Structure 1
Amino acid sequence: MRCPACSALDDKVVDSRASDDGSAIRRRRECATCGHRFTTFERVDEAPLVVLKTTGERQPFDRDKLVAGVVAAAKNRPVTREQIDALATGVEDSLRRRGGDVESTRIGLAVLERLREVDEVAYLRFASVYKDFTGVDDFADEVRLLLKEEHQPGA
């Protein structure tokens, strides 16, 4: 670490502790050359999450876009903002654990999987867009799948 006072590279760590919110490590340092004390912060640098669209296009993951889709599906349903945020966090965390690029279809399936547990009507609304329903038969098929899974042992 370069000293901000004299630009020397030789310093020692005097004190280390977690920052107030726990997202970084705060280090007090002292320059071995001039004695100047200064503070540095060490944070995790996460690799950006990249979404591979079905068109082959690549774009950065946008949590707000995911949340907006779930909010639209849950409109006028008994789904809280906290539930939506928890769903989005769960999806994002699972994608980050996988690492690397992620297909947009995987994101949609992860949302559907979690949304089914939150609200079945919101699930159907999201599925109708995600799965590109073209008629009432598509809704009926999806409802049948929901009912079948609901009545399975262990479900």
Structure 2
Amino acid sequence: MKCPFCDDPNTQVTDTRENEDGDVVRRRRRCLKCDKRFTTYERIDLKMPHIVKRNGNRSEFDHAKLTSSMSLALRKRPVTTEALEAAVDRIEAKLLSLGENEVPSEKVGELVMKELKKLDKVAYIRFASVYRNFADVDEFSEIIREVQTRPKRGRPANPPSPDPEHDLFGS
């Protein structure tokens, strides 16, 4: 590590500590030339895929935008911040596990809808109405019927798909 004060490449680590989660390492360093001390942080840098929009434009994945859009759907709903953050983490993990450099925005939207459906049915309907651009009341009625389906005789309304890769809505 190069010294930020004198640019000398010879520095010595004097102390190393991990944060509570173990995902960041803090290192205190001392320059062997000018004897000044400084701190560096080491963390994993995972590369999220670029998002390909419907019009073909590409943009970087934006954690804040994902969280904000889900928060908007969950506004005034009884869902904790921790539950929202866990849902966002699951979406990000799924995107990373795809191993793709680019992912269509439709895939992200479907992942968001899947998570919202688990968190809160009203938020799911709110998000779906905007995401799918509902044109009339019939489309609202259809999605409301979808979330109102009740399991019969202890069986799930939508049995799990044998292939989780193709199981965006449990159908």
Question: Structure 2: which amino acid aligns with 1:81?
Answer: T
Bigger CA drift: 10-19 or 21-30?
Answer: 10-19
What CA distance in whole angstroms lies between the structure 2 residues aligned with 1:76 and 1:7? 52
The Cα RMSD (Å) is: 3.1
What CA distance in whole angstroms lies between the structure 1 residues aligned with 2:119 and 2:67? 14
Counterpart check, 1:81 vs 2:81 = yes
What CA distance in whole angstroms lies between the structure 1 residues aligned with 2:98 and 2:62? 17
2:156 matched residue in structure 1: 154
Cα 1:30–1:79, aligned 2, differ >3 Å: closer, same or farther?
closer
Cα 1:43–1:113, aligned 2, differ >3 Å: closer, same or farther?
same
1:96 shift after superposition: 1.6
1:122 shift after superposition: 1.0
Q: TM-score, normalised by structure 2?
A: 0.68
Counterpart check, 1:117 vs 2:118 = yes
What CA distance in whole angstroms lies between the structure 1 residues aligned with 2:6 and 2:131? 58
- Aligned-partner SS, 1:51: strand
Cα 1:140–1:44, aligned 2, differ >3 Å: closer, same or farther?
same
Cα 1:121–1:3, aligned 2, differ >3 Å: closer, same or farther?
closer
1:37-66 Cα distance to aligned partner (Å, 9 max, x none):
x88654322224311111111101112212
What CA distance in whole angstroms lies between the structure 2 residues aligned with 1:147 and 1:78? 18
1:23 matched residue in structure 2: 23
2:66 touches 2:88 (CA, 8 Å); kept in 1? Answer: yes
1:68 shift after superposition: 1.8
- Aligned-partner SS, 2:147: helix
Bigger CA drift: 106-115 or 81-90?
Answer: 81-90
1:51 matched residue in structure 2: 51
Counterpart check, 1:138 vs 2:139 = yes
Larger CA Rg, structure 1 vs 2: 1
Residue identity (%): 38
